[in-house]
Amino acid sequence: MKANTRHVRLALMLAMFSGLGPFTFDMYLPSFPQMVKFFATSASTVQVSLTACLLGLALGQITMGALSDVHGRRKPLIIAMVMYCLSSLACAVAPNIGVFIALRFVQGFAVSAGTIASAIARDTYNGTELTKFFSLISVMSSVAPLLAPLAGSAIISFTKWEGVFYLLAILGFILSIATTWRLKETLPEDKRIHSNIGQMVGNFKTLLGNRVFMGYVLAQGFMLGGVFAYVAGTPFVYQKIYGVSPQVFSMLFALNGIVLITASQVVRKLAGRMPEHRILHFGLGLSFAATVAVLVVIWAHGPLFTLVIPLVCYVAAMGTIGPVSFTLAMASQGHIAGSASALLGVIPFLLGCISSPLVGIAGEYSAVPLGVILFMASVLAMSSYMWLSARRNTDVSTAASM
């Protein structure tokens, strides 16, 4: 019982690190109109602050993951949380929009340390236990994207936009204290890599050249790229094309969190009873069938519920694929788990940066780009896995039997 309590506490702490990203990105979105007036600038300029934060995240994921393989998990995480706390405070008192944008880049860089949480999970567990643990983290952290916009709206209802960043600073302070006093180092010194840039670059070259690893990374990456497109496109599809109210849209969007939590729980229950590869096959098959249905409904101009159902199935497929693809990708990367975790984090983000703007390429009243992008995401995810990972695993099994 005591061990199980520690298991849940560690999962909760790592989920907080993972969930800090959505709070950093989404919580201040309702404040945009206030910020336009405060900084006497345009809406598009304020939106650049979001791009700056995401760029900081992309660069930070690669850097933080590599540093954690050199210096251990705990030290980089503490430094990053202190940096996050200070940059959040600085955002709240930024004198102009230029400084604010620069500070958002720093904030995004610092919050990228959440990728170290995945490496800590890999250090602590492996195999089926890792799948179960990562599913538990997914259940906990998937609540963050649902709460962040609501929390932001609640804060600006009784205070100014600066209150959002003061709250983020408090969260950073709490995580700094928790990391310092409650988190133990999970990567012993004898398992760390040498501290030089060449070795770090070499690790990423090794990972990028590992066909099996990259098969799992790209399968997860293309699926998450589709999720980015889904998040960017459904506000227009639901509200502009189907005419639903903001309240109904909020409920439909909240359904995603429920589905992700349910899918992660199912994976957690199946882990150990069914091989991870079979769970992954099911998720990829479900995503393909769901996206075919989305295309058919869009082209046939079907009613709302006929579109919501396959979109929910796509989200469920992502909730299934995420934990098992992570486990299978990290299975043989123990000594460079930080770098491997960084690639698992940054590649989906880069693919999402490509897919999200394409959703609106045909205007606010066309859902065709969304359907095509989701279909291509599922096909590319399946193809990447089959060509790189599944094929190589089959070859190895055949050679072993001979």
**Tokens linked to 285:** 């098959």
Are 100 and 87 a contacting pair, CB within 8 Å? no
Distances from the Cα of 57 to the Cαs of 11, 21, 169, in angstroms? 22, 9, 17
More confident residue, 295 or 180: 295
Instruction: Report the share of the chain in percent with pLDDT over 90.
Output: 28
Q: What confidence category does residue 302 fall into, taking pLDDT thresholds of 50, 70 and 90?
A: very high
pLDDT band for position 398 (50/70/90)? Answer: very low
Separation between Cα atoms, residue 320 and residue 259, nearest integer Å = 10
Residue 278 has pLDDT above 60, yes or no: yes
Q: Which of 193-202, 314-323, 365-374 has the lowest mean pLDDT?
A: 193-202
Structure confidence at residue 4 (pLDDT)? 64
Asked whether the beta carbons of 91 and 103 are under 8 A apart, the reply is: yes
Question: Which tens digits make up the pLDDT trace of 69-88?
Answer: 777 888 888 999 999 999 99
What residue has token string 């969007």?
253
pLDDT: which is higher, 402 or 100: 100
Exposed, middle or buried: residue 188 (CB in 10 Å: 0-12, 13-18, 19+)?
exposed
Domain spanning 1-192: which superfamily? MFS general substrate transporter like domains (1.20.1250.20)
d(CA 331, CA 102): 37
End-to-end CA distance of the chain: 46
Domain 194-397 belongs in CATH node 1.20.1250.20: yes
Q: Residues of 204-235 as b/e, b for ≥16 C-beta within 10 angstroms?
A: beebeebebbbbbbbbbbbbbbbbbbbbbbbe
Q: How far apart are CA 290 and CA 121, in angstroms?
A: 31
Beta strands in 13-91 (DSSP E): none
Using CA atoms, how far apart are residues 340 and 96, in angstroms rounded to an integer?
Answer: 38
Q: 274: burial class by Cβ within 10 Å (0-12, 13-18, 19+)? A: middle
pLDDT for 317-351, tens place per residue? 998 998 888 888 877 676 676 677 778 877 877 77
Position 91 confidence tier, pLDDT thresholds 50, 70, 90 = very high
Res 145: pLDDT: 65
Asked if 172 contacts 13 with a C-beta cutoff of 8 angstroms, the reply is no
Q: Give the model confidence (pLDDT) of 146-162 as tens digits.
A: 677 677 777 877 888 99
Does the pLDDT at position 364 exceed 50?
yes
Residue ranges of the chain that CATH labels 1.20.1250.20: 1-192, 194-397
For residue 384, pLDDT beyond 70: yes
**pLDDT surpassing 70 at residue 32:** yes
Task: Quote the tokens at residue 247.
Answer: 């309240």
- Residue with the bigger pLDDT between 384 and 123: it is 384
Question: What is the C-alpha to C-alpha distance for residues 296 and 278, in angstroms, rounded to an integer?
Answer: 27
Position 397 scores a pLDDT of 38
Element (H, E) at 270: helix 246-270
pLDDT at 395 over 60: no
In sequence order, which ranges of 183-245 are alpha helices (DSSP H)?
Answer: 197-208, 211-236
pLDDT band at 142 (very low <50, low <70, confident <90, very high): low
Question: What does the mean pLDDT of the chain come to?
Answer: 81
Radius of gyration of the chain (CA): 21
* pLDDT tens per residue across span 107-119: 999 998 877 877 7
How many alpha carbons fall within 13 Å on the CB side of residue 47? 3
The 8-class DSSP code of residue 1 comes to: -
| 3 state SS of 271 | strand
pTM equals 0.68
Number of Cβ atoms within 10 Å of the Cβ of 2: 6
What is the total residue count of the chain? Answer: 402
pLDDT at 246: 61
pLDDT of residue 393: 53
pLDDT of residue 232: 65
Structure tokens at 78: 């503490």
Arithmetic mean of pLDDT, 36-46: 82
Percent of the chain exceeding pLDDT 70 equals 84
Q: Which two tokens stand for residue 323?
A: 């934990």
Determine the pLDDT at residue 234.
Answer: 76
What number is the average pLDDT over the span 138-153?
Answer: 69
Q: How far is CA 308 from CA 38, 173, 259, 361, in A?
A: 39, 40, 12, 22
Taking residues 353-364, report their average pLDDT. 71
The label of the residue with tokens 């340390």 reads 113
